[in-house]
Amino acid sequence: MSATDDFLGPVFSQVLLRNPGEEEFHQAVREVLDSLGRVVAKHPHYGDAGLIERLCEPERQIIFRVCWMDDDGQVQINRGFRVQFNSALGPYKGGLRFHPSVNLGIVKFLGFEQVFKNALTGMPIGGGKGGSDFDPKGKSDAEIMRFCQAFVTELSRHIGEYTDVPAGDIGVGQREIGYMFGQYKRMTNRYESGVFTGKGLSWGGSRVRKEATGFGAVYFLAEMLRNRSIDLAGKKAVVSGSGNVALHTMEKLIGLGATVLACSDSSGYVVDEDGIDVELLKEIKERRRGRIEKYVEIKGNGAHFSTSGSLWTVPCDLAIPAATQNELTGKDARSLVENGVLAVVEGANMPCTPEAVRMFQEAGILFGPGKASNAGGVATSALEMQQNASRDSWTFEQTEERLAEIMKDIHDHCAQTADEYGLPGNYVAGANIGGFVRVADAMSALGII
């Protein structure tokens, strides 16, 4: 066992001891610590002053009760969370997730990932995350409004454009951001545009924000392929999910000449050998708010829906898991490798299990970790904050060009960092180390706080 293992092992043991039962958080921390041995060996000062231990401990964890009334006049009670993880680089920045699975461990894992993701963008933003176990599915607009107003009434005392800037995530789109921003404005008597991102264009939002995470993942993928002299055009792709990230991932893949064969939602998956019709899928998911099986009913010949088996058994060149954490298992990875996949890029946060990541790396498959490849959303959120601060509004083309530049810079920084530490082609290590160094240097400069 090396000296760095002797040092980092106890750090992880302390994380396990202080955060029992939070498996996703343990997984996220372990992945980063596994990359830091070479950093501490080369630059021992990163092991001083409890820096890594501090980085693994959130600056603030907020849990609160959310009481609201449903359409039947019954009082409902949910739990709200905000984990303000690290503000060394700027105000906390990260989304809000409304889903029954949300708990403190999930929010901490997302917040920890967000710290490194935000650092990789090169923008002055720290990392945080939040949400609630509230389920928006099946709720009326009035119920969602009342919940959002109750949620942000409590959250409002902890956020602000110079403190903490929430955005959307699973279950939180422009509708929910609107209700929360409206209540915040009502309470504070300030039109503080920069306190939320993901806003509507007519009230302080940024063009490309809706598309940014999906578009950014494809830009990152294109750079990975270009680095190996492989053209994206003509390739066949499979994308999990059919929410905002997945839809715009598919849209950009098709725009750059690839064919998307399959996508999914929680009810099953659709395969269309002619290529997924993204505009039809948007109609079903965004406007009708329907299930993905409707796609087959409307499209007809050439498409089929399945509730059994795995989406990842569909042979493809490119795989983009864009639904939720730990959705792509070792078994799924084996199917992809055996079917000749060229590259896997995470569109969601940590959607591949550690076993799956290991299998891709051992097989020499290009693998883009979420903290790098899906950073386009938060990067464009930072651009939205920039536009709010200057009372400006950029064109779609101007904003997308800036997004593409940021994703190229993230790719290049990850690749160069991996090379510097003797791990060429290892984007996981490059992202972890690159993000860590930026945050750690800022923490050191600010003193022991």
The phi, psi pair for 111, rounded to 5°, reads -65, -40
- Pick from 168, 24, 4: nearest CA to 101: 24
What CATH number is associated with residue 175? 3.40.50.10860
pLDDT at 4: 55
Whether residues 50 and 107 fall in one domain: no
DSSP for 166-220 reads EEEBTTB-HHHHHHHHHHHHHHH----GGG-SS--GGGT--TTTTTHHHHHHHHH
Alpha helices by DSSP H, 198-353 = 212-227, 244-255, 278-282, 293-299, 330-338
DSSP for 352-398 reads B-HHHHHHHHHTT-EEE-HHHHTTHHHHHHHHHHHHHHTT----HHH
Catalytic residue among 108, 129, 252, 299: 129
Whether residues 21 and 111 fall in one domain: no
149 is in an annotated binding site: no
Whether residues 119 and 217 fall in one domain: no
What CATH number is associated with residue 27? 1.10.285.10
Terminus-to-terminus CA distance in the chain, angstroms? 32
Active-site residue, 371 included: no
Per-residue pLDDT of the chain (449 residues; tens, 9 = 90+): 344 567 799 999 999 999 999 999 999 999 999 999 999 999 999 999 999 999 999 999 999 999 999 999 999 999 999 999 999 999 999 999 999 999 999 999 999 999 999 999 999 999 999 999 999 999 999 999 999 999 999 999 999 999 999 999 999 999 999 999 999 999 999 999 999 999 999 999 999 999 999 999 999 999 999 999 999 999 999 999 999 999 999 999 999 999 999 999 999 999 999 999 999 999 999 888 899 999 999 998 889 999 999 999 999 999 999 999 999 999 999 999 999 999 999 999 999 999 999 999 999 999 999 999 999 999 999 999 999 999 999 999 999 999 999 999 999 999 999 999 999 999 999 999 999 999 999 999 999 99
117 is in an annotated binding site: yes
Is residue 105 one of the residues assigned to a domain?
A: yes
Which structural domain, as residue segments, surrounds residue 185?
60-191
- Pick from 378, 446, 447: nearest CA to 123: 378
93 is in an annotated binding site: yes
Which residue, of 12, 32, 55, is where some domain finishes? 55
Q: How far apart are CA 263 and CA 276, in angstroms?
A: 8
Whether residues 176 and 236 fall in one domain: no
Q: How far apart are CA 380 and CA 95, in angstroms?
A: 13
Whether residues 175 and 227 fall in one domain: no
Whether residues 187 and 121 fall in one domain: yes
Dihedral sign computed on CA atoms, order 443, 444, 446, 449: positive
Whether residues 268 and 350 fall in one domain: yes
Number of Cβ within a 10 Å radius of residue 353: 19
Is residue 419 one of the residues assigned to a domain?
A: no
Is residue 430 one of the residues assigned to a domain?
A: no
Is residue 437 one of the residues assigned to a domain?
A: no
Whether residues 162 and 228 fall in one domain: no
Whether residues 235 and 343 fall in one domain: yes
Whether residues 263 and 118 fall in one domain: no
Whether residues 306 and 325 fall in one domain: yes
Q: What's the structural domain count of the chain?
A: 3
Which residue, of 36, 55, 74, is where some domain finishes? 55
244 is in an annotated binding site: yes
Is residue 285 one of the residues assigned to a domain?
A: yes
Is residue 75 one of the residues assigned to a domain?
A: yes
Burial of 59 (0-12, 13-18, 19+ CB in 10 A): middle
Is residue 439 one of the residues assigned to a domain?
A: no
Is residue 291 one of the residues assigned to a domain?
A: yes
pLDDT at 152: 98
What CATH number is associated with residue 318? 3.40.50.720
The phi, psi pair for 161, rounded to 5°, reads -65, -20
- Residue 74's Cβ-side half-sphere holds a number of Cα atoms within 13 Å equal to 3
Whether residues 180 and 259 fall in one domain: no
Q: How far apart are CA 337 and CA 83, in angstroms?
A: 37
227 is in an annotated binding site: no
pLDDT at 5: 67
The single-letter code of the amino acid at 200 is G
Residues 6+ apart with CB under 8 A from 359: 330, 333, 334, 337
Which residue, of 156, 191, 226, is where some domain finishes? 191
